[in-house]
Structure 1
Amino acid sequence: MLDVLTLDQLRIFVTVAESGSFRAGAARLSRVQSAVSHAIANLEAELGLALFDRAGHRPVLTAEGQALLSNARDILLRVDAMRARARGLGEGIELDLSLTVDTLFPISAVGAALAEMRAAYPTVSIRLAVEPLGGPIMSLIEKRSVLVIVVGEDFRDPRIALEAIASVEQVAVVSAGHPLALRQAGGAVGLPDLADHLQIVLSDPTPLSRDRMFGVLSPQTCSVTSQDAKHAMILAGLGWGRLPFWQVARDLAEGRLVRLATGALGRNSQVAAEAYLAHRIDEPFGPAAAAFSQALKRQLGT
């Protein structure tokens, strides 16, 4: 009867298959060989199948044994995962870590910190969103995330605690073939020049920036919903705009983009914005969130 299969039988089956013999399997399990042979024989009787061909010097998996080996491994993996999760719940470890990151922040640093956190807490699932402008703060207000990274000083809420962790440089750029790039070959460009051309800007998916404009200098704008779209539109020559230096460093070095030569957009067309790690005051970090926070600071050298 399949109902009387035990996890111990499955673990013995997998161990013998991986070890190559009953003797080696018994040694790995710290059991006598006769007990291991007996367990396999009982498992075969309950399944109604021969799992090993014992005709040779060493037992060899039969075709049926080979087919069922992956099922046995899968069952044991799921049981071990369940045990680990139960142990984590008993220790107060979160089931998942929900995180929203400002689109201006280098996502590679987030990925490295999450990988470090997962090494310590392998049972914690991750929900990661990347949003512009008011998105990260709104995700905390609406309790969609327990932890966010926000860039800049534009959004604040008394329910949110912030900790400065890094500085993000933004550069005003335009495609090398854009009229503004050709125009500045003869000298610096001014605000009237910028206003004559389309500015690529991010749109806020939240109501937090209603009736507010952030760095918009041209009456002609193209609103996009992601930083990648903004980057692509500027590269295509559609217009000009600010982008994080980490995102455009290679484009600048290889000549696809150029800095806008104007003092109206910061020294060397570059401005710095502070990045903050933020969470709700009424929701302190769990162990996984705290581990991620420390890992991210190490990645950033703070």
Structure 2
Amino acid sequence: MLDNLTLDQMRTFVAVVEGGSFRAGAARLSRVQSAISHAIGNLEAELKVPLFTRTGRKPELTAEGQALLADARAILIKVDAMRARARGLGQGLELSLAVAVDPVIPPGILAGALFDLRAEHPSVGVALKTLPMRAALHALINRHCTLAITTDTQRDSLVEAECLGPAQPFVAICAAHHPLATAPAAGWSAVELSDHLQIVVSDPSPMTEGLDFGVLSPGTWRVSDLATKLALIQAGVGWGNLPLWMVDADLARGVLVRVTATAIGAQAETALTAYLLWRIDQPLGPAALHLRERLVVRFGQGV
């Protein structure tokens, strides 16, 4: 019989696993360590299997614990979603809506969806936060926003995701007077590309600490925003990847050119897909739901 299992026991189990120790689990749940140990002991007694080995400095998951961890997480996600849905029943219109947006999202599509939101719900205020890389996801996980719009594919178990559609691609570009502007017939090799300074945007969140994405040159300058990155590339300081919507006019005028390199593909571009994210335990109100609907429509229309 498993009727005596409690959600509290399962939350404690997951907290210990995610924290890495009984002490860390206690800190996460703001409890004393003895209460955590007691809850885990009761859970093991109810399940009749050991969840942790306790011979080392830190408790290690047993094979049984590893198998049951996914079940515990799935149950807690379902319960959180049920509570969120219950809180959302009969919920009134939001006073304001905080939205985190990856700056590579085409601004015309975003502005169009926000225009639609304003027309439908003029009393709702909007706080728009432009956060690059995985900072938008980080803000959502930490409840600093209600919705996040991003092209990042990393996910969290507390986050629901909906594909909005293709966003304009990232393209590798440099100034027309930059040495990379005139490529050999086969394109620049990765070794040749690494001889030139690359301008990259740093992720302000801790979620990619120590990791680099799309960085091919050992020599880099790091900036905090796309506008600064574009200005440095236009000046010929280095090369880099930028969303096509941001550079298509300069490409058409010949101020910028695409970098042709075997390491980044024949078209020197990376396809991007936009996603809308929200927490499963935070119900979406009428304004958030309307914005979600309009984003789907706008991305579908490309405007």
- Partner in structure 1 of residue 135 of structure 2: 135
1:214 counterpart SS class: coil
Structure 1 residue 186: Cα displacement: 6.0
SS at match of 2:267: helix
Structure 1 partner of 2:213: 214
Render the CA deviation track for 1:76-131: whole Å, top value 9, x for unaligned.
Answer: xxxxxxxxxxxxxx970000010010011112211111111111111100100111
2:67 equivalent in structure 1: none
- Which residue number in structure 1 is paired with residue 299 of structure 2? 300
- Deviations along 1:244-273, one digit per CA (max 9) or x if unpaired, are 111111111110111111121123111102
1:227-250: CA deviations, max 9, x gaps?
A: 111111111111111111111111
SS at match of 1:268: coil
**What is the match of residue 257 of structure 1?**
256
Alignment-mate amino acid for residue 148 of structure 1: A
What are the equivalent positions in structure 2 for 1:1-302 lying under 5 Å apart?
92-153=92-153, 155-168=154-167, 169-182=169-182, 184=183, 188-301=187-300
- SS of the aligned residue for 1:173 comes to strand
2:166–2:299 contact (8 Å) kept in structure 1: no
Amino acid at match of 1:225: S
- Contact 2:97–2:124 under 8 Å retained in 1: yes
Change (3 A) 1:262 1:275: same
Amino acid at match of 1:174: C
Between the aligned partners of 1:270 and 1:238, the Cα distance in structure 2 is: 20
Q: Is the 8 A contact 2:196 2:239 kept in 1?
A: yes
| Whole-angstrom distance in 2 between the partners of 1:133 and 1:91 | 32
Structure-1 separation of matches of 2:213 and 2:120: 40
Aligned letter for 2:294? A
What amino acid is aligned across from residue 133 of structure 2 in structure 1?
L
CA distance in 2, matches of 1:267, 1:143: 41
Q: Could you list the runs of 5+ residues in structure 2 that have no partner in the other structure?
A: 1-89
- Structure 1 stretches (4+) deviating beyond 4 angstroms? none
Tell me the percent identity: 40
**TM-score normalised by L of structure 2:** 0.67
Structural RMSD (CA): 1.5
Size of the alignment, in residue pairs? 211
Unaligned runs of 5+ in 1: 1-89
Question: What is the SS of the residue equivalent to 2:246?
Answer: helix
CA shift, 1:185, in A, is 5.5
Measured after TM superposition, the shift of residue 301 of structure 1 is 1.4
